[in-house]
């Protein structure tokens, strides 16, 4: 499945990657895995105290999903750089109102090849990346660089 440098064209899309809706359980799992116990991500009373309607996903969970999208396409070992800006908050799905809340919690990652070049004796491609929810709201954007065979 290896992606080859010579087969890549500028403007090529990277395969689109979509998750199921993010739940509060996913946030707790990510907190425990990453060690990020900012209560904003699991304690509803804290989230409300600081003026939010609900707990929100870790920006780093969304970036982790973007990392999954990239490494589903090219091998992890080829990654040289990954850079993102977090653009909006993500609220998880509410189980008592799945129909109206699942889209805000469903993340799709897309990207495309912007540049091909040689650096450090490697054939590298620079790709843009963007993650949006199913309502079209942008969660993060940025770029990544991979060295390809």
- For other proteins, the closer of residues 11 and 84 by Cβ is 84
134 binds other proteins (CB under 8 A): no
Least distance between other proteins and beta carbon 4 (Å): 15
Give the Cα separation of 127 and 113 in Å (integer). 4
- Other CB atoms within 10 Å distance of the CB of residue 46: 14
Interface pick for other proteins out of 16, 38, 48, 98 (rule CB under 8 A): 38
71 binds other proteins (CB under 8 A): yes
Q: Helix, strand or coil for residue 95?
A: helix
**DSSP class of residue 74?**
S
118 Rama sector, left if φ>0, alpha if ψ -120 to 50, beta otherwise: beta
The region of 3-11, 34-42, 110-118, 121-129 touching other proteins under the rule CB under 8 A is: 34-42
15 binds other proteins (CB under 8 A): no
The region of 4-12, 20-28, 91-99, 129-137 touching other proteins under the rule CB under 8 A is: 20-28
- For other proteins, the closer of residues 55 and 65 by Cβ is 65
Give the Cα separation of 92 and 34 in Å (integer). 18
Q: Which string of DSSP letters, residue by residue, matches 43-63?
A: -HHHHHHTT-SS----HHHHH
Question: Which position has the token pair 């993500």?
Answer: 90
73 binds other proteins (CB under 8 A): no
Residues contributing to the site for other proteins (CB under 8 A): 19-20, 22, 26, 29-30, 32-38, 49-50, 58-61, 63-65, 67-68, 70-71, 75-77, 79-86, 142
């Amino acid at each position: 499945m290896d992606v080859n440098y010579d087969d890549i064209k500028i403007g090529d899309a990277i395969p689109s990657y979509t998750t199921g809706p993010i739940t509060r359980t996913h946030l707790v799992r990510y907190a425990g895995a990453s060690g990020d116990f900012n209560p904003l991500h699991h304690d509803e009373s804290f989230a409300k105290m600081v003026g939010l309607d609900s707990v929100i996903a870790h920006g780093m969970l969304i970036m982790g999903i973007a990392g999954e999208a990239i490494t589903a396409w090219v091998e992890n070992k080829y990654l040289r750089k990954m850079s993102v800006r977090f653009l909006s908050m993500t609220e998880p799905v509410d189980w008592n109102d799945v129909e109206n809340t699942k889209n805000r919690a469903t993340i799709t990652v897309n990207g495309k090849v912007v540049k091909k070049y040689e650096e450090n004796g490697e054939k590298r491609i620079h790709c843009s990346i963007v993650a949006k929810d199913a309502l079209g709201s942008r969660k993060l954007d940025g770029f990544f660089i991979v060295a390809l065979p």
